[in-house]
Structure 1
Amino acid sequence: MTRTHALGALLLCAFVGGTGWWPFRALQERGLHPLWTLGLVYAVAVLALGPSALRPGPLGGRSPLQQVLSSPPLWALGAAFGTMNAAFFWSVSIGDVIRAVLLFNLMPLWAALLAWWLLGERPTRRSGVGVALALAGAAWVLWPSDRAWEGWRSLPWPREPPHARAVLGGAAFALNNVLLRRHAEQPQPAQVLAMFLGGMGVAGTVALALHAAGQLPGMPPVAPGWLGITALLSLWFLLGNCALQYGATRLPANTTSVTMLSEIVFAAASAVVLGGSQPTLAMLGGGALIFAAAWLSARTPAST
């Protein structure tokens, strides 16, 4: 029964992540840019952690906040998590949802490179196949089929800002996961606090910088509509995080990774139903390759 509950928790987390694009887009339509939304959402999450973040550890040890402030590895973890969220949700808020989710999930490519660099895990034949499938899938998704061949200009690379942000978000997500493994000795409460602070800090800093440069509108006047959606979104994200913590700590890592691939299915289905995307042959074919690559990567044991 515990395994069933853990799998259910992971599916809930995947559902939260896969459908999270819709409230961001709804808030964007109400004048609240996704970067401001993320800053507010994670500010609420940090406040929710406030009492536990300030509580001293066992035997008078340092509190999670003190651990974060004194640990550069946790700063890097927070920066990676914040970059992942800012890039991904900015992408799905204004771009094609299915294409953005597929490009975000080029995990085998980034995970193989980063694990080799930071963890010393040599790529295996299986991980190499996963990288090749991911690259082929990305090329299919990005291939400009609507115009004639124009030499190197027609190569399948992220031309539009939402595509580039989705790729950046996926790379940051892979870095976040690798850093969690590299610094597994860090206490879990400090890791969670670092990621929430990073989610608030990166989105808020970028939003302020772009607003000062005149490239991003300021926050709209306070109104019950967007405030209510933002509050519910904060609770939605907290629910997803709690579900992930519950499921991931009770199941093998490979099981967690494979189960979380259902986020792609939830995102694609919700995008079609709610009008966030219209699937094409390139999306279906490329998406199948990317999904296969991610599944293969999740099933590949580490090699050192």
Structure 2
Amino acid sequence: MPDVRAALADRPLVLDGGLGTMLEARGHDLTGSLWSAGVLLDSPGDVRAVHADFVAAGADVVTTASYQLGYDNLAAAGHDQAAVDALLAASVRLAREAAEGRAWVAASVGPFGAVRADGSEYTGAYGVSVADLTRWHRRRIQVLADAAPDLLALETIASPAEVEAVVAALEGVGVPAWIALSAASTAFDDAGYASALAVAAAAPEVIAVGANCCPPSLISTVLDRVPAGVAAVAYPNSGETWDAASRSWHGDAGATFADADAWMDAGARLIGGCCRTTPTDIAGLVHQLES
């Protein structure tokens, strides 16, 4: 595969969609605190197969099943640090095997709230200092970087403080990254988006900034505040709403990519889906962008 920075300069790249959604479609129960990380532990072949389905649909980038992998939640499930390191590396290997040289691999780095599994990635209300968040993110980022993905995907980052923390944790890892804010998080207002995106975009490792894991209608709110000349990343949910208390989705899916042309006009170079989006949705997006 060519260098991903060069590819981005040439054309928009299509991301994959909802890994957890498709694992559920294969019969896995993701209502536990480990979410897709539990499937990575128990059924890695299904994780590889879902990645392959998105590649077959035309995705240029597949994102690893490491979003909820953390040392604290895995410790509570009986896994020591070495085991977590091995799982993080395995998530990259499985995605690489599924890609078969046809797609880039982005190693997913979820927010602190994802490991808590309490919905706090939509509030940023962690009660944790920037320094502690930096330490918390750093080891996981370094282990994933050592597994040699093409990119790091810092996803659903839920507050200005967590943006500062992940930028610090990225320093010196030597792998290009994108940082996507939680556009549904109550921790950001308009000024907060602009400031956080500027902080993220200034990091040497960062090649794109934007938003994910939100209704499609909120994507433009963030893209409009991406600094001029910086590539943007956009991958919303289907339009349904997550209820953290019941751990279930509600509402109806909409036309997830109806505004994709407008996102490209606003600078989006990485476009895909997040929760509840499928390979069929991604195939439709590929066709839309090619048209």
Q: Same fold (TM over 0.5)?
A: no
Give the strand-richer structure, 1 or 2: 2
Using the size of structure 1 for normalisation, the TM-score is 0.29
Using the size of structure 2 for normalisation, the TM-score is 0.30
Relative contact order higher in (CA < 8 Å, ≥ 6 apart): 1
